[in-house]
Amino acid sequence: MNELQKKIYDRFARYVAVETTSDSNSQTVPTTKTQLSFGKMLAEEMKELGLSDVHIDKNGFVFGQIPSNLDKKAPAVGFLAHMDTVQDYCGKNIHPVVHTGYDGGKLVINEEKKMYLTPENAPRLLKCVGHDIVTSDGNTLLGGDDKIGIALIMTLAEHLLAHPEIKHGPVKISFTIDEETGTGIGYFDIAHFGADFAYTVDGSELGNIDCGNFNADKFVISIIGKNCHPGAAKNFMANPVRIAADIVSSWPEDKLPETTEGEEGFILFNEVEGHLDGATLQGIIRHHELEQFEQFKKDLAQIVEEKRAKYPNAKISLEIKKQYRNMREVLKEKPLAMDVLEQSLKDEKIDYQLTQARGGTDGAQLSLRGLPTPNIFASYENPHGPYEWLSLQWSEKIFNLLVRIVENTAQK
């Protein structure tokens, strides 16, 4: 790896060493104290680099900025990355491993566990022949989502401050909480951030620009049963475990995550707890098109209503909570963020495609609240598990893109 790649990697390795798993069941803000500890570490580093107005707000968001060095007014551009890692897989005691000069064949993550990356299970590896690939040791996730984004933004800040000959307007930086739970960005103070437009550095494949995303809600189905001795259960017992299974099996097979792709929507049943007295079934609803998204919710409510009729001795309730909506229309109405980004991609000769993410980003909520925030790729792949990997050569390309965005914003 060259000097720039090493600088990015060293930061990344320091950041993933700090456990910051978020918790979707927590009622605190942020959902875990480890995010606060990590935020304090980042704030101290930002101060050491020379950023201005560095602070952590009451909700745990880290803020800093680099003042304009222009003699004219220019838009303020913002960069954001989230501090938490997903709770779906272990994010503690992460030990990144660098595989130098990937040769295009099998890449060993953990020989003892027979864990490998190959062009068959990770096809985009073939775009990275000769690259330095970073993985976990197979016992944890890697944390590229999104600590490589943080490392890139920090390295950008250091570079701008060390090179005043690079002309730029105000550059706003924030490291955010609880992106993986979908709850943190709702507490973000856009006016305080002060950017005219921004970018989350939190995408996957090089060249993919997320300028659209799922509409998203989550749901909880609560079932209160009626229990008795199974030998005398006829026409009396209402078994919540059976009812929960019936609800899950009633949702169409072709509208599940494992049977859909592209802009097809789905419902995911992701958690069930139950016994003979009661059960709780949780999940998420996703679709890019708002009309079909609303129909999914109606279809789920209809299934619940049918089960109420089928199991009259049980009490079944459905609660749906709003999460985020598709940012696509906002970015069309306020095009400056995309104009600057697309020009910068062309300047850096990066082939790109505008995509609708099969998920959501902090930028989705920020865009809908008035701050246009498309999502830029961050060089990681296969997030949320032990097969996550990233390319340091991709990281360098993204760093250069961020510099170019700052420069092009200064021309607006």
Q: Is the dihedral of CA 365, 368, 371, 377 positive or negative?
A: positive
Query: Choosing from 45, 145, 158, 179, which is the catalytic residue?
Result: 179
Of 84, 180, 217, 388, which is the active-site residue?
84
HEC string of the chain equals CCHHHHHHHHHHHHHHCCCCECCCCCCCCCCCHHHHHHHHHHHHHHHHHCCEEEEECCCCCEEEEECCCCCCCCCCEEEEEECCECCCCCCCCCCCEEECCCCCCCEEEECCCCEEECCCCCHHHHHHCCCCEEECCCCCCCCHHHHHHHHHHHHHHHHHHHCCCCCCCCEEEEEECCCCCCCHHHHCCHHHHCCCEEEEEEECCCCEEEEEECEEEEEEEEEECECCCHHHCCCCCECHHHHHHHHHHHCCHHHCHHHCCCCCCEEEEEEEEECCCEEEEEEEEEECCHHHHHHHHHHHHHHHHHHHHHCCCCEEEEEEEEEECCCHHHHHHCCHHHHHHHHHHHHCCCCCEEEEECCCCHHHHHHHCCCCCCEEECCEECCCCCCCEEEHHHHHHHHHHHHHHHHHHCCC
Q: Which two tokens stand for residue 332?
A: 């069309």
Q: Is 202 a catalytic residue?
A: no
Do 105 and 136 contact (CB within 8 A), yes or no? no
Known catalytic membership, residue 179: yes
Residues with a known catalytic role: 84, 179
